[in-house]
Amino acid sequence: MSIARLCLLFATFLLPLLGGRSGVLPLAVLAVLAAGGWLAWAAGKPRAGWRAAPLGWPLLALLAVTVLATLTSVYRPASVLGVWQVTVTAALALLALQVDVTRAQLWVGARVFAAGMLASLLYGFWGSFTWVEPLAWRVQSTWENANFYAAFLLLTLPLLAVFARVAPRRDERAGYLLVMFLGLVALVLTQSRGGLLAFLLGLLAFAPAWLWAEGKLSSKAIGLLAAGFVLFVGIVLLSPLGKRVLDPEVRARQLHSQMFRVYTWQSDLRMIQDRPLLGFGPGTFASVFGRYQIAGYTRHGHHIYLQAAVETGLLGLAALLWLFAAVAAVGVRASAVPSPRSPGSPIPPAPFPAREGGGRLLGIGLLGGLLALALHGLVDSDWLYSGIQLTLLFAAVMAWRMTAESPATRSAPAWARAGIPVALLVISFALVMGARAEQSMAEGEALLGLVMTEPDEQQRARLYADAIDSFRGALNLAPMNARYLRQASIYLPRDEARALLERARALEPTNSANWLFLGNYYLQGDEYARAREAYVRALHEQPNLLPALFGVAKTAWRMNDADAVLRAVEDILATRGTPLDEFHPIEVPEPWYTQAAYAAGVLYYRAGKFTEAHKAFAMTISEANAYEDGFTKEAEAWAMASRNAGEREKMKTLAATARQFLFDLQVYSDPLSEEERKLLLPEKERVNPFP
């Protein structure tokens, strides 16, 4: 077997384990395999056979649109990884079309893929039992989350079913059947409601088509299928997923997830309207979404087709749909071809190591997986992952090879023989450097964690210096990564931090995080005017970014602009109870609501608006009690909110409890009366809502 075929087989084994976009190193491995395969192919007798398959031109169109979308993107550093990913996917898929693989070797590839699937499944089951309480968590194997792993399983289960039916040996068929059964269990244990629904809907089309291909479609068979379908649904309802569906409390929480997707899709549509032709650039969704978000922040569009349109425009969506249509055409053609040994078959009766009807069933399996993926793509951005992309494309290549005549070959152009491998090797080198940079950043953060727990002062200093060296090493490897620049700036000397933040801003001037970090930098250096300007720019890029609003309030307080402070904190409090609040990540918006309510209470009190002040302080205490114990400002809030003697003892107790946690306060105007101050607080302390 040639080196090119070995590269393809190794890539096929890795697909179940390496999602692709969950890290740059897996993509680098695939790029190396693609480059090695192309070099081996070019060293032999290269032939340009991809034109005969319906997949070649759609793949090139998708790659071309992706490159154009990057060239027109203002988020170009963030979009580079998207171009590399599509390049690697297209190179491996086209290589699979180019290499002349026999049908016997295709079944070797099926065995390799099943072996990778088994490793993926065993790792996923092991993780669910060892990381947390057994089966209390969702199986996701090595994928970013359980929903994406469910999408991958949707593609593979129909193929495994076909392999279990038509593989040449009985023991091999039993092995495929075992892997398919484990995959079905894993799909249930992902607890992905969208994944299970897509599977059930796909099964309604896949099972009758299977019977048709077997020549066994009858009313009795349909009845047995219906009974089996109902039994499977019953088993699912008894699983952990069933609780997500049947338990009223859990179902109410799941409504939260459903509505979040609805708000996200509305934001997706707003993004498409702004850049309809070529989008914002591949891989830029996470950088752009904040400007358009209606509810909480997310890094994915939760929709294959909307995310494709957001990142590569309507042209990119058209190219993706063309590719899906090409895969469907391969499946339809394969399912319509007679048995390879039946009279009139266009395929000669050469050795065909599979049972009768294998080509037809493989076509139906390809269509079943494509249908399930297309349905699940309505609720999740499954096409993000190289593992999903290449699984679908390799299955299409296998179905095409199984049922199509060998194409008339042409000599490949010279540029393809050398240019493609060189480009892929450059990409893989850059990705490996990126993976090393990511590792250096992780090492630095781990060392900082050790600094916090190390009792020896000299050892702490050494660990801190090592952490700084790790951050600088990451920046040397990836000097254009704005996220690294922001993250490292927190720990480096001020002059160096300023240079990093300004470089990050220059790289991505429309990224709100760059302006937010700059605002924090200027605020710490008492450059209040610049800090306010940076926070305002951050809000321009991401309206209702609560840390930036709070930054505006803090800079306005330092600049003695009480009106601006009040406007900012009122803007923060105005998001309470809106989708932005309901769908916020765990760490947001606290402590912003608590401190904003406290600041508003102070300002209302000074303005003589005692009713508004009382409400604001009551909200302060409500927020503090909801999110953290012993909020340091609780005593002061009670002191100002309560004006009657009946609560004096309670106020004294709260003040005594909180006093030890109070910060050194800097503002010298005091909303408390002298009598209240003597009763509640030490003489030197002053009230400041922004310590």
- The Cα angle at residue 51 between residues 48 and 56, in degrees rounded to 5: 105
End-to-end CA distance of the chain: 70
- Token couple for 107: 């079944």
Residue with tokens 């702004």: 274
Residue 531 within a domain? no
Determine the pLDDT at residue 408.
Answer: 60
Residue 422 within a domain? no
Burial 643-680 (b: 16+ CB within 10 A, else e): eeeeeeeebeebbeebeeebeebeeeebbbeeebbeeb
**What is the rounded (10 degree) CA torsion for 10, 15, 21, 23?**
-60
Rounded Cα distance between 38 and 406, Å, is 20
Last residue of a domain, one of 377, 412, 447: 412
Residue 537 within a domain? no
- Distance of alpha carbon 503 from its chain centroid, rounded? 26
Rounded Cα distance between 274 and 310, Å, is 9
The residues near 414 (Cβ < 8 Å, ≥ 6 apart) are none
The residues near 577 (Cβ < 8 Å, ≥ 6 apart) are none
pTM of the model: 0.82
Last residue of a domain, one of 377, 394, 412: 412
- Distance of alpha carbon 104 from its chain centroid, rounded? 38
Partners of 411 in the beta sheet? 47
Residue 685 CB neighbours (<10 A): 17
Rounded Cα distance between 208 and 224, Å, is 11
Burial 363-401 (b: 16+ CB within 10 A, else e): bbbbbbbbbbbbbbbbbbbbbbbbbbbbbbbbbbbbbbb
Q: Residue 234, exposed/middle/buried by CB under 10 A (0-12, 13-18, 19+)? A: exposed
Rounded Cα distance between 597 and 609, Å, is 14
Q: How far is CA 580 from CA 92, 120, 513, 585, in A?
A: 42, 37, 18, 10
Q: How many CA atoms lie within 13 A of 443 on its CB side?
A: 17
Q: How many CA atoms lie within 13 A of 157 on its CB side?
A: 28
SS3 419: helix
Partners of 47 in the beta sheet? 411
Residue 510 within a domain? no
Rounded Cα distance between 290 and 298, Å, is 8
Determine the pLDDT at residue 657.
Answer: 42
Rounded Cα distance between 289 and 276, Å, is 15
Kindly report each contact of residues 640-644 with a partner whose C-beta sits within 8 Å and lies 24 or more positions away, as own/partner.
640/601, 640/602, 640/605, 640/613, 640/671, 640/672, 641/601, 641/613, 641/614, 641/617, 643/610
Residue 84 within a domain? yes
SS3 141: coil
Residue 654 within a domain? yes
Determine the pLDDT at residue 635.
Answer: 45
- Token couple for 170: 């009985």
Rounded Cα distance between 370 and 377, Å, is 10
Indicate the helix (H) or strand (E) that contains 426. helix 414-453
Residue 70 within a domain? yes
Mean pLDDT by 10 residues, the chain (691 residues): 84 80 74 88 72 83 93 76 86 87 83 92 81 61 86 93 87 92 90 87 87 78 77 70 61 64 91 93 86 84 93 95 94 76 43 56 92 93 89 91 69 76 87 85 85 80 88 89 87 88 88 90 91 94 87 90 91 86 62 78 79 78 57 48 48 43 32 49 46 46
Instruction: Supply the angle between the helices 610-627 and 592-606 in degrees, to the nearest 10.
Output: 160
Phi-psi region of 281 (alpha: psi -120 to 50; beta: other; left: phi over 0): left
Residue 51: DSSP 8-state: G
Pick the closest to residue 289 from 83, 453, 47, 513 (CA basis). Answer: 513
Query: Is the backbone peptide bond immediately before 589 cis, with ω within 30 degrees of 0?
Result: yes
Last residue of a domain, one of 355, 385, 412: 412
Residue 627 within a domain? yes
The number of distinct structural domains making up the chain is: 2
Residue type, 136: A
Rg (CA), the chain: 30
- The Cα angle at residue 620 between residues 616 and 624, in degrees rounded to 5: 170
Determine the pLDDT at residue 23.
Answer: 64
Determine the pLDDT at residue 272.
Answer: 94
Rounded Cα distance between 298 and 302, Å, is 9
- Residues 367, 201 contacting (CB under 8 angstroms): no
- Residues 658, 634 contacting (CB under 8 angstroms): yes
Residue 389: DSSP 8-state: H
Instruction: Write out the residue range of the structural domain in which residue 162 sits.
Output: 47-99+112-412
Pick the closest to residue 652 from 675, 669, 629, 670 (CA basis). Answer: 675
Kindly report each contact of residues 426-431 with a partner whose C-beta sits within 8 Å and lies 24 or more positions away, as own/partner.
427/28, 427/31, 427/84, 427/87, 427/88, 428/28, 428/29, 428/31, 428/32, 428/35, 430/84, 431/24, 431/25, 431/27, 431/28, 431/31, 431/84
